[in-house]
Amino acid sequence: MTHVDTVVIGAGVSGLTAARLLAQAGQRVMVLEARDRVGGRTWTDRSSGSATDRGASWIHGITDSPLDEITTALGMRKIEFTVGGYQPDSRPIAYYGPDGERLSDAAAAAFAADIHTVDARLAEVIAASAPGSSYGDVAETALADQRWDAERTERVREYLRHRSEEQYGVWIDELDAHGLDDDSIEGDEVVFPDGYDVLATRLAEGLDVRLEHVVSRVEWSGDGAQSGVRVAHSVGELTADRAVVTVPVGVLQSPEFRIDPTLPEPVAGALGRLAMNRFEKVFLEFPERFWDENVYAIRRQGPAALRWHSWYDLSALHGTPTLLTFAAGPTALETRDWSDAEVAASVLASLRELYGERVPEPVAIHRTDWQDDPFARGSYAYMTVGSVPEDHDVLATPVGGVLHLAGEATWTDDPATVTAALMSGHRAAEHVLGTEVSLSALPDRLPR
């Protein structure tokens, strides 16, 4: 039977980072990946001629970002697009009111000011909240404290709901009060016009990556001379001194992926308090542009916009008039079984309430389905009510000295991101080697 020093399960950014650093340190490493491609939840579709990122798009803030440092060193072209973090006013946004009319600049500024006012209070309310409070609970407290009239309160309430859905793909009452604690952006946000998947492709070059190897079981033993892991996959079995397991939380929680013996505390408890979300992208390419000039995004308020409320202008990125919207949280569930044509019709009806018959039929629609993807089971993990931010880092507690969990959900500082995947892969490599490893030296040592 094949034996390696470390087996890495999953060829997303976390697994490839760990594997690359371990290989650079001289280890014999094998990466087992269920899909027929690397990259996991970074996935660029080039079938239409332009690069469409069906998974991650943004670096949410490039100031002091190791991910920005690495992607820059790899020569990945980037475009500033500072609107990814559901920010109300960091860049120009066309706001439409509940009646479908565009808000004046003064009205939009007053609305953004209301959000900032509530956010300042919200931070205090969250800090003082009892364990088991939801983001919906703390939002209601912060809103009530303003003593605004019903209309003004409702507009900000909607915004906070949409933030929970767009940032974490979950209804506001299902997200823990601390579920958006990480939601701060340092510096500009950027996207990659040539595709985010370049990162994974470069990290994987020259590594022993076995595609279409679906892992079903990881047996581990931390006992002295017997210590090690045995991994069963769709093509056979192998043994290793250690395993780095980077499959998403939804896979870890599923009966199709067994860890034997089962994960001990505190890891098991932390895993049980996280859950995969529902967050799908809908790209609409149009024959011509019909929306407002010089804005990064379009947002609509009011009950008619409960399902579709935000559209992001990707025209500069795609080279064609393209809007991106999200089916997030309840909308992702509601539209799960709809055809692309039904989704397009629903989005177009909303856009026509704002722009009338100027809205043409789209040339193309691309839509993701991460919630039904067996190797993702959602887009990323969120904190269920009752969890604590530290549950993320706790997930990465080494098990028996031989089993190391990594991946976006294992990084408290900035979970649910590519940054988290990168940093957690780096941490796993350090745990395996028992020594510090330079992350910034990683690109210099990639094959040219």
Ligand X SMILES: Cc1cc2nc3c(=O)[nH]c(=O)nc-3n(C[C@H](O)[C@H](O)[C@H](O)COP(=O)(O)OP(=O)(O)OC[C@H]3O[C@@H](n4cnc5c(N)ncnc54)[C@H](O)[C@@H]3O)c2cc1C
Task: Summarize as ranges the residues that interact with ligand X (CB under 6 A).
Answer: 9-15, 32-35, 40-42, 55-58, 60, 84, 214-215, 246-248, 251, 257, 279, 281, 368, 370, 375-376, 379-380, 407-408, 416-421
Shortest separation between residue 338's beta carbon and ligand X, angstroms: 17
Instruction: Please tell me the distance from the alpha carbon of residue 211 to that of residue 35, in angstroms, as a whole number.
Output: 6
Instruction: Please tell me the distance from the alpha carbon of residue 246 to that of residue 423, in angstroms, as a whole number.
Output: 12
User: Closer to ligand X at the Cβ: 15 or 88?
Assistant: 15
Shortest separation between residue 208's beta carbon and ligand X, angstroms: 14
Shortest separation between residue 45's beta carbon and ligand X, angstroms: 12
Shortest separation between residue 382's beta carbon and ligand X, angstroms: 12
User: Closer to ligand X at the Cβ: 331 or 368?
Assistant: 368
User: Closer to ligand X at the Cβ: 14 or 133?
Assistant: 14
User: Closer to ligand X at the Cβ: 153 or 253?
Assistant: 253
Could you count the other beta carbons within 10 Å of the beta carbon of residue 46? 11
- The answer to whether 446 and 205 have CB atoms below 8 angstroms apart is yes
Shortest separation between residue 144's beta carbon and ligand X, angstroms: 33
Instruction: Please tell me the distance from the alpha carbon of residue 131 to that of residue 143, in angstroms, as a whole number.
Output: 20
Mode of pairing for the β-strands spanning 29-32 and 3-9:
parallel
Shortest separation between residue 285's beta carbon and ligand X, angstroms: 18
User: Closer to ligand X at the Cβ: 127 or 235?
Assistant: 235
Beginning with the edge strand found earlier in the chain, give each strand of the sheet holding 310-313 in spatial order. Answer: 93-96, 297-300, 310-313, 322-328, 279-285, 364-367
Shortest separation between residue 283's beta carbon and ligand X, angstroms: 11
User: Tell me, what amino acid is at 221?
Assistant: S
Could you count the other beta carbons within 10 Å of the beta carbon of residue 383? 28
Could you count the other beta carbons within 10 Å of the beta carbon of residue 326? 23
Shortest separation between residue 332's beta carbon and ligand X, angstroms: 10
User: Closer to ligand X at the Cβ: 348 or 422?
Assistant: 422
User: Closer to ligand X at the Cβ: 158 or 408?
Assistant: 408
Shortest separation between residue 110's beta carbon and ligand X, angstroms: 29
CA distances 252 to 143, 235, 248, 255, 317, Å, are 37, 20, 6, 8, 35
User: Closer to ligand X at the Cβ: 211 or 363?
Assistant: 211
Query: What are the percentages of helix, strand and coil residues in the chain, rounded to 5?
Result: 35, 20, 45
Residue 258: strand pairing partners? 217
**In 3-state terms, what secondary structure has residue 57?**
coil
User: Closer to ligand X at the Cβ: 157 or 217?
Assistant: 217
CA distances 387 to 270, 379, 394, Å, are 8, 19, 12
Cα 270-271-277 angle, rounded to 5 deg:
120
Residue 311: strand pairing partners? 298
